[in-house]
Amino acid sequence: MTIITGGIFYIIIANGLLMIYGIQRSSYKGASEVSLGTIIVSFPASVIRCYKNFYAYFVNRNMYLTVPNKSFLLLLGIGLFMLFCVIRLFTIIWRKNRLYAICFLGCVALIPVAGCAILLIVQGTGMGLLMSMSLVSSPVLCLWISVESMPKEEKVSFFCKKVSHLLLLLLLWVEILTVTNDQLALKEGKKATEKMTNIIVSELASEEYLGSDSAIAIMGKPSENNLFAKRKAWEAANFYARFGADDWLGGRDGYRSWRGFVIEGCGINLNFCTEEQYKNLLQTNELSEMPVFPAEGSIREIDGVVVVKVSEAY
């Protein structure tokens, strides 16, 4: 009854907020098509996606652990140790009650579904980074439950507990190293982009573009330019921590990235072109034929806009 009541209140509040802010659910990636019926119909496919995303998170992406670069060995060790614990527990339970042992294996098999449970209701999407907190905690919970479930009087249980503590400490250490490296990469990427921006502004000033009424457009990813210093921390960082890389062209291309960084990040008030002008420039042959900054000809006026081409990727 509590769940049903909570669901009703959720629907009322959610729809009320959408009406207040004038937002249509259909405008957000087909959210209006999600219903209890569609969730039930797509349930088998959603379960398969849970297993695929679970595998991708731990095997392909290594839990986004990048430091040290062989962190997959730690995850492999945790996986093998958990497999040993599962086999050990299954053997113990099997001796007492075979039905319980089969149910135990069923619960183990559902761990990927539990870790990616959000995918059961979110259709047509993968496991985003911000949705993966349950996956992050799953190794810790599984290790703790496996070890604590073993009979206390056995020497194997004592050994397993010590090994689990060691593995968890190593996992925590690697996660701290990864987060620290990502923070350093963000700082280094921001600094490199800021230095490049200052050089671009100086060049614009020397060619007397800043004093004119012409709008300015900076095109391309900073990280693709030779002036951008890619240090070891930046190279080893996760994709979201590589400042000036692929995410720079996300959202509305690079328009908001450059405009926001120059004005808010560097405190330089450039006369940027409009977003419509920026999109039109992306389609011009003149832009594709321009060399990359700081080569001669990398700054030129196209359709009344002073264009600075930072990289070939724009």
pLDDT > 90 in the chain, percent: 4
> Which one has a higher pLDDT value, 32 or 137?
137
Average pLDDT of the residues of the chain: 81
| Ranges 1-5, 139-143, 277-281, most confident | 277-281
The CA-CA-CA angle for residues 243, 246, 252, to 5°, reads 100
Query: Which residues have a Cβ under 8 Å from the Cβ of 270 and sit 6 or more positions away?
Result: 201, 204, 210, 216, 262, 263
**Nearest in space to 135 (alpha carbons), one of 200, 60, 84, 189:** 60
289-306: per-residue pLDDT in tens? Answer: 889 888 888 888 888 888
Task: Quote the tokens at residue 81.
Answer: 């140790």
pLDDT at position 130 is: 64
pLDDT band at 1; cut points 50, 70, 90: low
Cβ(163)–Cβ(81) under 8 Å?
Answer: yes
Q: How many CB atoms lie within 10 A of CB 207?
A: 12
